[in-house]
Amino acid sequence: MTPLLEVQDLRISFPTAGTRVSAVDGVSFTLERGEMLAVVGESGCGKSLTSLALLRLIPHPGRIEPGAVIRLDGQDVMALDEAGLRRIRGRRIGMIFQDPMTSLNPVFTVAAQIGESIRAHRKLRRAETRARALDLLREVGLPDPEARLDQYPHQLSGGMRQRVMIAIALASEPEILVADEPTTALDVTVQAQILEVLDRLRVARGMAVLLITHDLGIVAGRADRVAVMYAGRLVEEAPTPELFVHPSHPYTRGLLASVPRLSGPVTRLTPIAGTVPLPAAWPSGCRFHPRCPEVLPRCPTDDPPALGVGPGHQARCWLVEGSRP
């Protein structure tokens, strides 16, 4: 059976003085029906660009390099024209964004904005649209939904707005929901609630979720699989429990070591030294080698391929090769 979403060798380049640099450089992954895949990485690693590329929404002057494959249920997204893309955007792949404070149009009520999304999907009468909007608000767990319908975005809190954004995305009944840092702008308690909603919807609707985040902490216990991005590449991909128990890439281990733990002895957090290099200055060989605490002699020159660690577990690191029997 074909995967719901298949991405192969995705490269996204931007022009700089005379040449083009690739901000995303050869990313491949798949997403199955009803699955939650988390893409984790620092700012600037290309995770948001990757999510925008699924809808071919790369901002000008960036472009997806030829050779990339994006297939939605077997359909070639790269071959679609603008009209074809509009039929996919929202209807088959819904999207929610980082900042719920600015993602809603300030001059329309909640009902009007959800209604627009509903009617883009199917023709309903006014009263039916409103009833449907109310159902959606209940589904995303917005308190007091009847009163909220006729309110404007500025009358809602950040968490409420993100719920409304999710309701708008759900209105078209997409098969995939792409959530780009959906909780970054929210309080920690609200973060948990929003993730709870996403998880519940995934189970109830069989909707696949692609969760983009920089926070490994919110991934645990929710995502089925985790893909770790660094400098435009996927450096490790594994089922979530496996990743937390056996992180195989030094970058993943670094990420895990920099997150505080509630259980166990109190220790100093270990930061990853340095910052993510800019796309124009990516190092040769393994891109993590200048920051890597376990660097090998071959790392600065030889770029490691994705090496199998275990079932469904791959890492782009020479250490994996050495540790294998």
Partner 1 sequence: MTGSLRRTLLQVLASPSGRIGFLVLALLVLVAVVGPWLVPNPAAMPDLLAGATAPGRQHLLGTDHLNRDVLARVVHGARISLTLATLSVLLAVSLGAIVGLTAGWLGGWADATLMRGVDAALAIPRLFLLLMLVAVWEQMPLAALVAVLGATGWFATSRIVRGEVLRIREEAFVDAARALGAGSGRIIFRHLLPNTAGPLLVAATLGVGDVILLEAGLSFLGVGVRPPTPSWGGMILDGRPMLISAPWESLFPGLAIVVTVLAVNLVGDALRAALYPRSA
Cα separation, 96 vs 210, in Å, equals 10
> Can you tell me which residue has the tokens 């902490």?
217
Under rule CB under 8 A, residue 109 binds partner 1 = yes
Closest separation in Å from C-beta 99 to partner 1:
5
Which of 95, 149, 176, 292 is the binder for partner 1 (CB under 8 A)?
A: 95
Under rule CB under 8 A, residue 323 binds partner 1 = no
- Tokens representing 214 are 């920089």
Query: In terms of C-beta distances under 8 Å and separation of at least 24 residues, what long-range contacts does 272-281 make, across chains too?
Result: 276/42, 276/43, 276/44, 276/45, 276/230, 276/231, 277/231, 278/44, 279/14, 279/21, 279/22, 279/23, 279/231, 279/232, 280/16, 280/21
Distance of CA 127 to the CA centre of its chain: 35
Under rule CB under 8 A, residue 172 binds partner 1 = yes
- Tokens representing 191 are 């973060």
Binding-site size for partner 1 (CB under 8 A) equals 32
Closest separation in Å from C-beta 237 to partner 1:
25
> Can you tell me which residue has the tokens 């959530």?
179
Q: Site residues for partner 1, window 29-58 (CB under 8 A)?
A: 52, 55, 57
Of 15-23, 161-169, 227-235, 251-259: span binding partner 1 (CB under 8 A): 161-169
- How many helices (H) and strands (E) the chain has is answered by 11, 13
- Tokens representing 227 are 């893909």
**Closer by beta carbon to partner 1, 152 or else 244:** 152
Give the per-residue contact string, 189-218, with partner 1 (x = CB under 8 A; - = no). Answer: ------------------------------
Under rule CB under 8 A, residue 76 binds partner 1 = no
Under rule CB under 8 A, residue 103 binds partner 1 = yes
Under rule CB under 8 A, residue 147 binds partner 1 = no
- Tokens representing 167 are 């309701």
Under rule CB under 8 A, residue 61 binds partner 1 = no
Under rule CB under 8 A, residue 89 binds partner 1 = yes
Q: Give the residues lining the site for partner 1 (CB under 8 A).
A: 52, 55, 57, 82, 86-91, 94-97, 99, 102-109, 116-117, 120, 150, 152, 165, 168-169, 172
